[in-house]
Structure 1
Amino acid sequence: MHIQETPSPAATGGQAAVASWLLPLVITLFFAWGFCTVLVDVLIPKLKATFSLNYAEAMLTQFCFFLAYFIVSIPAGLLVSRIGYMRGIVLGLAVMAGGCLMFSPAASLGWYPAFLAALFVLAGGITLVQVAANPLAAGLGDPARAHSRLTLAQAFNSFGTMLGPLFGSSLILAAGVSEPTPGMDAAALAAFRVEQAGHVRLPYMIIAGVLLVLAALCWWFRRAPVPVVRPVGQADYLRLLRVPRLSLGALSIFLYVGAEVAIGSALVNYLIMVGATGSEHAAGNLISVYWGLAMVGRFIGAWVLRSVPAGVVLATCATCAGVLALLAGTTLEGTAAAVAILSIGLFNSVMFPTIFTLSIDGLGEDTPGGSGILCLAIVGGAIVPLLTGVTADRFGLALALLVPAVCYVWIACYGLLVRFGVLAGRPATDAVVAGEA
């Protein structure tokens, strides 16, 4: 059954009016899931030390987190196409809160797999919210400014990722990062892990409460006039995958998210390794610089994209990010290395929203299906960091930065292919007019 969220043919004017107050609420959701996602970067050094993990094992946190996008995205797209954007957001927020609450028993058990399960559930809820909120933000207003509007929303996502490390570092890393003493017996080791894991409990309990408040607020506005959602079937996904701009855009999302997450996950250990800082707490605080630059870049990008073609902006930023990753991984040390790797955040800024809007451009009522495919591609955040971790264990953390550098090469190519009109942006059998109700 399809729930119409637009009450009448006259809703076009209503949508224009409601966008002025509904868009800020949707932008708040971007902030919330950015805040939750970036806490994994702070969590990694804590869990790595507590459970004596190598880099590849520590990156399982990101693997389990972003694996949820691969598993949940298509079902989420199907669900949103039937219950509508706002109800999908409410359900996603409730699942996110449930994942946060799971950190309490995980800490009490002092068991690494329990943390991985909590991260998976949290990410499942984030996936559902993203599948609904990304196309909703793009659709709340003038279609010609969808790139700029979604980039602005992503700027507030980056605001969340900037504040998240400060919040997480103050509650998770402030007490320090301790490894178990060699020769501990089983009982002492278990008690040590429970005590160290307990530092993770409070921040996630606070976040769960905030998410439930947001869910209640979104439920209150569930009948707001928003763009119509057409029911999506599995056959639609197969048809949409034959759209070159969408399918190659999904590959670009895969590589972009993977590169961004791999760099963010390695930041604490990398900054200590190159001598830019001497403690995990200080390095954890510097993560906020990485994400803060992404926020600044998205505010700038929202303005630049009003006049510069999106493909050109994407190709330029990807090239700059790739060069910085290459330099940080091969030639730079100390402060110069820290500046280079943190500056990648500035050029990452516009990539996700620009790739997203370029990919769904022209899909019309197939947009929820396209959004589901793109959110599925966020599983790159599981695969690329794990590959980076394996490379770090074998060749060193610095050379492992070549993995995300290669990812940026393709992203630059995608931007140029779109700019010069090489990629088609509509299903061959699609007779739906973009934006038609």
Structure 2
Amino acid sequence: MATTAGSTSQHLSSSGDNKRHTGALAALTSLFFMWGFLTCLNDILIPHLKSVFSLNYTQAMLVQFCFFGAYFVVSMPAGALVRRIGFKRGIVLGLLIAGLGCLMFYPAASLRIYGLFLGALFVLAAGITILQVSANPYVTALGPQDTASSRLTMTQAFNSLGTTVAPFFGATLILSAAVLGADQIAALSPTELNAYHAEEAAAVQLPYIGLALALFVLAGVFAWLKLPAITPDATVVQGTEDTIWNHPHLVFGAVGIFLYVGAEVAIGSLLVNYFALPSVAGMEEAKAAEYIAYYWGGAMVGRFIGAAVMQKVSAQKVLAFNAAASVILIATSIATTGTVAMWTILAVGLFNSIMFPTIFALAITGLGRLTSNGSGLLCLAIVGGALVPLLQGMLADGFGLQISFVLPLLCYIYIAFYGLKGSTPR
């Protein structure tokens, strides 16, 4: 790519042949699966903890606020750390920290303190943040730059496989106990009520201990694996000092990641409660949780389709099309009731599919030696998953759950802009 004053011609170069790249990509898919699985479990935790601690929507959304708030706190330090210790060690460290966060669910449930649950989620998310900062740019570097979006979309498909499986896991192991109605709870004695809430809280202990063990095993596997070394190859024009802020497509992309993650998480977080509305489906929580799999499963299917489509169609056009489709579907769900409202909001998952990996890959295009910093900024922007759901929770408390979906609709309008114009490097 030609350079001009104040710009750089930079790229990531990789050592190892195509076979080693294929093996590395195969290993990395396990990480994408695992952090998708862990992230989606929050959609089960929210209605569960809402019941255990008698929370309103705003309070319940503190689950996502603490989880995705970790991205804001940890992402930039993680970018510097990964630049110092390398992608592979960053992956191992991230897995260990995430495992520690899962272990913290045991004392949180035993003591039945909501703040401890939120602290455990923060530590878990800190580990996942380091994984994201390490793995996403690593995948884009393992092959040609012009197919980076397709490659990252394919690995993200396995992230969606994790989010598709997680609702069934959570519905079976966490939401399987019978949930008492308000009248039944009111009839319980203080002792019976305390025992009921203690039993509900303890439902998360065994699942998260198992997840901690799985994360520790993965950390051992990646510590043992020999992965291709990825090193920056930069050529800086003399007399210029390049920074991430000199790349508007990266900055616009960070806003896009903020709004996309916020919209995706806000929708997924409220689906169980949305489907429980009499005007939508009137479902019980455990049954509604299973339908979340259609939302995340749609994203998985869409990523496989998108990875193929983007071999032929530009990533920018595909992104803009999917964002526009999401706007139409959400508007339809807000304006209707019953099965139409239910299935149109679920269908948003299909069009969410390619958005995160596509925005991410477009945003770090041409950054070269700044790729780690750019990746850190983009992962920092994942804090949208903390703020947008919290704001939608406030809207739901103030104006009603269905109308609150106007907020993610506005987020997708911006993403359409990014696909059409904001993603073009200058």
TM-score over 0.5 (shorter chain): yes
What is the deviation of 1:366? 1.4
Q: Which residue of 2 aligns with 1:387?
A: 391
What is the deviation of 1:364? 1.2
Q: Which residue of 2 aligns with 1:117?
A: 119
Secondary structure in 2 matching 1:401:
helix
Q: Which residue of 1 aligns with 2:151?
A: 149
Q: Which residue of 2 aligns with 1:403?
A: 407
- Consecutive unaligned residues in structure 1, runs of 5 or more: 1-10, 425-437
**1:212 aligned onto 2:210:** no
Q: How does 1:363-382 map to 2 (within 5 A)?
A: 363-382=367-386
Secondary structure in 1 matching 2:231:
coil
8 A contact 2:150–2:310 mirrored in 1? yes
How many Å separate the matches in 1 of 2:231 and 2:384? 30
8 A contact 2:14–2:231 mirrored in 1? no
Q: Which residue of 1 aligns with 2:305?
A: 300
What residue identity is the alignment partner of 1:387? L
Q: How does 1:11-410 map to 2 (within 5 A)?
A: 12=14, 14-178=16-180, 181-182=185-186, 189-221=193-225, 223-228=226-231, 239-273=243-277, 274-329=279-334, 331-410=335-414
8 A contact 2:243–2:370 mirrored in 1? no
How many Å separate the matches in 2 of 1:110 and 1:336? 39
Show CA shifts across 1:141-170 (max 9, x none). Answer: 222211100000111100000001111110
What is the deviation of 1:15? 4.4
Aligned length: 406
8 A contact 2:233–2:368 mirrored in 1? no
Secondary structure in 2 matching 1:241:
helix
How many Å separate the matches in 2 of 1:145 and 1:82? 27
What residue identity is the alignment partner of 1:227? I
What is the deviation of 1:229? 5.2
- Consecutive unaligned residues in structure 2, runs of 5 or more: 1-12, 235-239
8 A contact 1:163–1:288 mirrored in 2? yes
- Relative to 1, partners in 2 of residues 1:103 and 1:307: Cα closer, same or farther, differing over 3 Å? same
Q: Which residue of 2 aligns with 1:429?
A: none
How many Å separate the matches in 2 of 1:281 and 1:243? 46
Task: Please report the TM-score for the alignment, with normalisation by the length of structure 2.
Answer: 0.91
What residue identity is the alignment partner of 1:137? V
Q: Which residue of 2 aligns with 1:435?
A: none
Task: Please report the TM-score for the alignment, with normalisation by the length of structure 1.
Answer: 0.89
How many Å separate the matches in 1 of 2:332 and 2:271? 15
- Relative to 1, partners in 2 of residues 1:238 and 1:51: Cα closer, same or farther, differing over 3 Å? farther
What residue identity is the alignment partner of 1:210? A
**Higher alpha-carbon deviation: 136-145 or 76-85:** 136-145
What is the deviation of 1:16? 2.8
Q: For the aligned residues, what is the CA RMSD?
A: 2.0
What is the deviation of 1:54? 0.4
- Relative to 1, partners in 2 of residues 1:399 and 1:209: Cα closer, same or farther, differing over 3 Å? same
What residue identity is the alignment partner of 1:404? P
